[in-house]
């Protein structure tokens, strides 16, 4: 209703109700709600009467407290790291908000100026296209079927005749999740009778179908846990100075839950999986492998094998603080 009132000078009651697909009684009630929120909605009497926005309606009153203002400032300054092309718009939005904020809130926002630095531990994905977010988010919100194809790791789309081409498949999108700087879609594929977690930037979305589907219950009911424990969610190895792999005596879902961003987990059997990951040094890769506290073999390449042996020798030399040290037992 606010956006409609801002588009032209006057809206007759019947026309406003028809445009919003609600009753005239609902329009009157919502008008009173807007007035209670200090929006200057004016009633114009007479045959050509209706409702219009009074002076000072360019922006709604900003009813942020200090904590909310800081949350908005952080969100606008960090959003461009995960969504492509938002840098200039986010900066202008923050500047606009600051201009209409009370002095107290403006000072709080100006006190938090962020400089985005590369994260040397969790490698985020490249920023995602806003149009992809719009199409995916609309489909999730309205429960509309999507037709999708899987992109290559470089973002290109296979075409018919190429070895890795797969025809478009139908997907019921239920949730969108952002984790470790990556956007994921959780959906159900009717043809495969399976729930999946997909890297959104690895999906090519066809135009909206408008075909509705009935909501389903996600196995386990926890969408965050589902994404974090799904090993085949489309992740690819990040670019590191040193990248290696090893086979763990652990289930893939366990390793996927705790593996650092930018690593890939492959299911081998119910008790084994392979992880591919990187770090700034071979000792760094070996150290990450050690955090899983599990048996491992098939370690590659040779540089990683040598790093594991060096760390093993160093750790073997670790002694107690004293002969009588009262240290807690291992859990």
How much is the pLDDT for 328?
Answer: 61
**Cα–Cα distance for residue pair 111/32, rounded to 1 Å:** 37
Quick one: average pLDDT of 48-72? 70
Higher pLDDT, 81 or 79: 79
For residue 40, count CB atoms less than 10 angstroms from its CB and return exposed for 0-12, middle for 13-18, buried for 19 or more.
Answer: middle
Quick one: average pLDDT of 56-79? 68
How much is the pLDDT for 120?
Answer: 46
**Cα–Cα distance for residue pair 103/143, rounded to 1 Å:** 43
Which residues are CB-contacts of 109 (< 8 A; sequence separation ≥ 6)? 69, 70, 72, 73, 94, 97, 98, 101
| Domains of the chain and CATH, by start | 2-53 (1.10.10.10), 66-110 (no CATH), 130-228 (no CATH), 242-316 (3.30.70.250)
Sheet with 146-150, strands from edge to edge, namely 194-199, 182-189, 169-179, 146-150, 203-205
Q: How many residues does the structure list for the chain? A: 331
Q: What is the pLDDT of residues 249-262, one digit of tens each?
A: 999 999 998 988 77
Max avg pLDDT among 60-74, 135-149, 221-235, 296-310: 296-310
Quick one: average pLDDT of 215-239? 87
Residue 289 pLDDT level (bands cut at 50, 70, 90): very high
Contact 300, 246 (CB under 8 A): yes
Distinct helix (H) and strand (E) counts, the chain: 11, 11
Contact 109, 65 (CB under 8 A): no
**Cα–Cα distance for residue pair 268/241, rounded to 1 Å:** 27
Q: What is the pLDDT of residues 86-121, one digit of tens each?
A: 777 788 778 777 766 767 777 767 666 655 544 445
How much is the pLDDT for 57?
Answer: 56
Closest CA to 50 of 27, 82, 78, 84: 27
Q: What is the DSSP string of 71-134?
A: HHHHHHHHGGGTBTT-HHHHHHHHHHHHHHS-HHHHHHHHT--------SSS-PPPPBPHHHHH
How much is the pLDDT for 269?
Answer: 95
**Cα–Cα distance for residue pair 101/64, rounded to 1 Å:** 9
pLDDT at 167 over 80: yes
Quick one: average pLDDT of 30-56? 84
* Percent of the chain topping pLDDT 90: 40
Closest CA to 298 of 279, 278, 272: 272
Q: What burial letters (b/e) apply to 208-222, b meaning 16+ CB within 10 Å?
A: eeeeebeeeebeeee
Quick one: average pLDDT of 62-81? 72
């Amino acid at each position: 209703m606010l956006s409609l009132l801002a588009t032209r000078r006057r809206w007759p009651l019947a026309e406003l109700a028809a445009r919003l697909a609600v009753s005239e009684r609902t329009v009157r009630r919502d008008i009173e709600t807007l007035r209670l929120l200090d929006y200057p909605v004016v009633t114009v009497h007479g045959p050509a009467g209706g409702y219009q926005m009074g002076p000072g309606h360019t922006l709604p009153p900003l009813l942020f407290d200090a904590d909310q203002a800081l949350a908005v400032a952080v969100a606008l300054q960090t959003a461009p790291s995960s969504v492509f092309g938002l840098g200039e718009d986010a900066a202008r939005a923050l500047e606009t908000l600051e201009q209409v904020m009370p002095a107290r809130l403006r000072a709080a926002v100006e006190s938090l100026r962020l400089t985005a630095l590369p994260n040397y531990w969790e490698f985020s994905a490249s920023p995602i296209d806003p149009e992809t977010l719009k199409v995916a988010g609309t489909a999730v919100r309205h429960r509309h079927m999507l037709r999708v194809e899987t992109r290559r790791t470089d973002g290109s789309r296979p075409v018919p005749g190429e070895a890795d081409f797969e025809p478009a498949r139908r997907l019921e999108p239920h949730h969108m999740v952002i984790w470790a700087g990556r956007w994921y879609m959780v959906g159900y594929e009717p043809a495969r009778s399976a729930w999946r977690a997909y890297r959104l930037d690895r999906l090519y979305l066809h135009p909206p179908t408008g075909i509705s589907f009935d909501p389903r219950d996600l196995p386990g009911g926890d969408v965050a846990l589902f994404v974090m424990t799904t090993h085949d969610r489309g992740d690819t190895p990040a670019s590191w100075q040193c990248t290696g792999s090893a086979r763990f005596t652990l289930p893939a879902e366990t390793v996927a839950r705790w593996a650092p961003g930018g690593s890939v987990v492959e299911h081998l059997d119910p008790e084994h999986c392979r992880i591919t990951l990187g770090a700034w040094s071979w000792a760094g890769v070996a150290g990450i492998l050690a955090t899983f506290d599990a048996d491992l073999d098939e370690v590659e390449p040779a540089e990683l094998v040598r790093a594991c042996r060096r760390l093993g020798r160093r750790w073997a030399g670790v002694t107690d603080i004293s002969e009588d040290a009262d240290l807690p037992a291992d859990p």
